[in-house]
Amino acid sequence: MSEMKMEYVKIPYVEKKVSRILYGTAIQPFLDGGDGMELLDAVYAMGVNTIDTGRVYGKAEQVIGKWMEARKLREKVVILSKCAHPDASGKKRVNEKEIRADFAESSEYLRTDYIDIYLLHRDDPDIEAGEAVEIMNALHGEGKIGAFGVSNWTHRRIAEANEYADRHHLIPFTVSSPNFGLAEQVRDPWGGGCVSISGPANQAARDWYRENKIPVIAYASLAHGLLSGKVKSAGQEKAGEILDEFAMRGYACPENFERLRRCEELAEKKNCAVSQIAMAWIFQQELNTLAVVGTSNASRMKANIEAMHIGLSKEEAAYLDLQ
C-alpha cells in the first residue's frame, strides 16, 4: 500500500488549495449538532482541508463554525456550502431572496463572512439559467463567495448558464457536484431532482465535463454505502438490513452488485479494501474529479486517501464498470 498522501487541486476563484477528498458532513454527529470536533481534527490532520456542507444539513454548519473558531483555522480551511434547496413542501427556492437568506444563515452558523465555494443545491428549470448566474455574480462581487456553481444541475443547464455568462461578460459556474462513482444511480435516492453522471446512459454528460474541464465534486461516490465493503455481493438478499432506504432505492440493482463483486475480486488481488478499489476507480477517470466522503470513522478516511494511490490498469477499470 502506498503511503497516505493527500492530493490537491486549484479551483478558479478559490485562493486556497482544495483537497481532492472533501469531508462530507451530511452524517451524524453533525446533523444533530453533536460533538464532531475530534472527527474534524482527525480528517484535517490527514490533509483534508475542504469540508462539504449545506444549509439543509441539520446543524452541521454550526458544528463546523464552532470547530474553525476554536482551532483558529478559518483561513486554512476551504468551506463548500449549498443553498436554495427546495423547502419541505417541495417548493423551489432558486431566487435571490431565498439564496441571500440561506447565505445569511450559513454565514452566521459557520462564523465567517465568506464561503469559499457556494453551490445551488437544486435546479429550478422554470427560471432562466442566466438569472441564477446574475445572483451568484452579485454575491461574488460583494466578497461573500469565492467560486460558485451548482449541485444536481444537468450539464445542459450548466452549459446554458455559462453561455449566458460569456455573452454578458460574467463569471460562469466553475464547479459542479453531481452524483458520480462506479455504481450507476438507477433511481433518484432523495427526490427533488438528484442528477447523476454515472453509468452508460450518462456518457454524454461525462464527455461534456471532460471537454469543459469543470471540476466534478462527486457525491455518494461509494453508492451511499453499497461499495463501502459493508455489503457482500453474495448476500444481496440481506443488503436492506445493512443499507438505508436511500442506498437501496438509488443503487440496489443486479448490475451494481456485479460491480461490487468485481471490486471484491480486485481487492483480494491487490490486498486492499473493497471501498479502496471503488474509490481508486473514481480518481483514475478522465475527469477533474474530487470526491465527497462522509464517515464517522477516521480510519476509513485514511483508507480513502490511500486509495488515491492504488494503481488500476485501463483494463481493470473497464472490467469494474462491466465493460
The catalytic site residues sit at 57
Sign of CA dihedral 244, 249, 253, 256: negative
> Cα separations (Å) of 301 from 78, 177, 178, 183?
18, 20, 21, 20
Number of helices followed by number of strands (H, E) in the chain: 12, 10
Q: Quote the CA–CA distance of 79 and 155 in Å, as a whole number.
A: 24
Closest CA to 55 of 106, 122, 98: 106
Cα Rg of the chain, angstroms? 19
- Answer whether 185's CB lies under 8 Å from 205's CB: no
Contacts of 141 (CB under 8 A, 6+ apart): none
Burial class (CB in 10 A: 0-12, 13-18, 19+), 302: middle
> Which DSSP string corresponds to 5-65?
---EE--TT--S-EESEEEE-SSTTTTTT---HHHHHHHHHTT--EEE--TTSTTHHHHHH
Q: What are phi and psi of 79, to 5 degrees?
A: -105, 125
Taking the C-alpha atoms of residue 102 and residue 152, their distance in angstroms, rounded to an integer, is 18
CA pair distance 298, 154, nearest whole angstrom: 33
**Cis (ω within 30 of 0) for the bond into 254?**
no
Whether residue 59 contacts residue 31, with contact meaning beta carbons closer than 8 Å, is answered with yes
